[in-house]
Amino acid sequence: MSAVTTLDPAINLDTGYNFAYLDERTKRMIRRAILKAVAIPGYQVPFGSREMPLPYGWGTGGIQVTASIIGRHDVLKVIDQGADDTVNAVNIRRFFQRTTGVVTTERTVEATLIQTRHRIPETPLQENQIIVYQVPIPEPLAKLEPREAETKKMHGLSEYGLMHVKLYEDIAKFGYIATTYDYPVMVDDRYLMAPSPIPKFDNPKMNMNPALQLFGAGREKRIYAIPPYTKVESLAFDDHPFEVQRWQQHCALCGAKESFLDEVITDDQGGRMFLCSDTDFCQERRGEVASTAALVERPLSGSV
Amino acid sequence: MSTINIDHVDAGFSDTTQASQQVFRLGLHVFARPGTLVEVPSDAVAPKGIGAAANALLLALLDQDVSLYLAPQRSAAATYYRFHTGCTLASIPSEADFVFVGIEDEMPSVETLKMGTEYAPDESATMVREVSLIEVGVGMTLTGPGIQTETRLMVPELDTAFAQTRSEIASLLPRGVDIFLTCANQLCGLPRSTRIGV
């Protein structure tokens, strides 16, 4: 049994809306912004973000980017913190099923288009894939310099000393760089970029990734991109090199040592377990270890 | 404004929504992977002297929010894009958001086009350049974002003078001009981030 499900358009397709919900003129505006974003890697292109049928902060930027690029032949995967079955992922997936009728999947390897909130899948992405990130704060300097006129100048002049000072202050205070997510990166040696609140564990995956990476911030009205095979470097110092999180534990379900683990509290007696944050990765591994039954047991969220 | 006699305007896409999405997606593919060649399917009837890929791209990306520059003799094409997309027409290349250059048209010097500013490099022109031949694997070397190691591209119209101008404006990055190369139904991308060597 495959994890791919096709929605019956006769029953579920919402014909009251244009394909992928947005009107054509909005899509064209966003498409032109995406092309400029790809041509200027890491630069935040302003765009006319629309009001969407869910509030800002729920992935409206990512949804608008996805809606502007998705086609009938795409296979869509949506994840929220690595999981396909959390509320944000389920809702966004259903939104695109109803407005486009595309095939959806939970398997990273089957997807052509992946919309994500705050994780990059553990399974390496491929050349034919596009990953769309939902971004709350696109401006990496926002917490250090609230005036947008100033941050624009800093980007224009590639003047990023402020961010180095911030990381240095971490070292002075804690002895190490304490930033663990939304860890700033330099794209193609030119633009400082917020990778969205992915754990810094995922930062190395952005570098020279074969897939196209697009970022949409709905409330802040910005789109930016990292083309495939582009240098993405996490900021660091020579004597304090960039490091990712490591765990003492293995995943309690699949035994993975190298994946990003979530800590789950199991009772009020201090019981806890560590699980893969990437549910698809975890299931695939368990499928390998035992049988494919693990995949079949799981209800397919595509059949909502 | 003079009225348009639509008996003399050729057909655009039969399915604007789906065709625009497909063409944009191919445009995105070639911009993200400079030096890759794709074939663009299109059922639109292109104006004379404009290839199928260039035409499909313009139909997919133009609307009333952007301006297009066409060589002065392309009045039929001007009517066609005004009618199908609602775009405005720029009288000189330096004011246009999109610049189409046909094989026989005079190539406007790239440094005269809109290149944006250091603070807003996205407010720059996109050129759609129809050429007589696009050959991948030979010619000038391309490196940069979207290219794993390096790739080669040979286009007769992009001569050493073009390469010279392009390397000069490369020093102005992130300001710059992004180019789609088209040859009949073939499409190839040359965004500003691509470094060209001879």
Residue with tokens 């990130």: A133
C-beta of residue A241 within 8 angstroms of C-beta of residue A234: no
| H-helix or E-strand spanning residue B67 | strand B67-69
What does the pLDDT average to over B37-45? 97
Number of H helices, E strands in chain A: 9, 12
In the set A62, A276, A287, A302, the catalytic residue is A276
A249-259 pLDDT tens trace: 999 999 999 99
Q: Is residue B26 one of the residues assigned to a domain? A: yes
Tokens representing residue A276 in the block: 């893969």
Bridge partner list, A30? none
How would residue A5 be classed by pLDDT, with cut points 50, 70 and 90? low
Contacts of B27 by beta carbon, 8 Å cutoff, 6+ apart: A35, B57, B60, B61, B180, B187, B189
Number of independent structural domains in chain B: 1
pLDDT on residue A299: 35
Is B143 part of the contact surface with chain A (CB cutoff 8 Å)?
no
Helix (H) or strand (E) holding A156: helix A148-156
Amino acid code (one letter) for A66:
T
To the query of whether residue A156 is one of the catalytic residues in this protein, the response is no
Range of the domain at B21: 16-193
The answer to whether position B150 is within a domain reads yes
Check if A254 is active-site.
Answer: yes
> How far apart, in whole angstroms, are the C-alpha atoms of residue A29 and residue B65?
8
Is A302 part of the annotated catalytic residue set?
Answer: no
- Is residue B93 assigned to a domain? yes
Look at residue B10 and tell me if it is in a domain. Answer: no
User: Could you give phi then psi for residue A67, rounded to 5 degrees?
Assistant: -60, -30
Residue B5 lies in a domain: no
Rounded to the nearest 5 degrees, what angle is found at the Cα of A127, between the Cα atoms of B179 and A223?
55
pLDDT over threshold 60, residue A292 = no
Tokens found for residue B128:
């759609």
State the first-to-last Cα distance of chain A, in angstroms, to the nearest integer.
17
Q: Quote the ipTM score.
A: 0.97
Name the band, by pLDDT with cuts 50, 70 and 90, for residue A297: very low
pLDDT at A108 over 50: yes
Q: Which of A18, A208, A230 shows the shortest C-beta gap to B17?
A: A18
Range A26-50 burial, b when 16+ CB lie within 10 A, else e: bbbbbbbbbbbbbbbbbbbbebebb
Tell me what the mean pLDDT of segment A51-55 comes to.
93
> Is B25's CB within 8 Å of A18's CB?
no
How many whole angstroms separate alpha carbon A92 and alpha carbon A61?
12
Q: Which residue from B minimizes the CA distance to A47?
A: B122
pLDDT above 70: residue A35: yes
Q: Is B83 a member of any domain? A: yes
What percent of chain B has a predicted confidence (pLDDT) above 90? 86
pTM assigned to the model: 0.93
Query: What CATH number corresponds to the domain at position B157?
Result: 3.40.50.11310
Q: Judge whether B2 lies within some domain.
A: no
What is the bridge-based pairing of β-strands B67-69 and B98-101? parallel
Give the pLDDT of residue A290. Answer: 41
Among the ranges given (A130-139, A284-293, B18-27, B114-123), the one the predictor scored with the smallest mean pLDDT: A284-293
Q: Please report, as a single letter, which amino acid is at residue B13.
A: F
Return the minimum-mean-pLDDT range out of A96-110, A224-238, A281-295, B163-177.
Answer: A281-295
Mean pLDDT check: name the lowest of A40-44, A52-56, B95-99: A52-56
DSSP B174: T
Coil vs helix vs strand at A86: coil
* pLDDT per residue as tens digits for the range B125-146: 999 999 999 999 999 999 999 9
Assigned domain for B198 exists: no
> Residue A116's beta-bridge partner residues?
A79, A133
Mean pLDDT taken over chain A: 90
Angle at A48 between CA A46 and CA A54, to 5 degrees: 115
Please say if the pLDDT value at position A301 is more than 80.
Answer: no
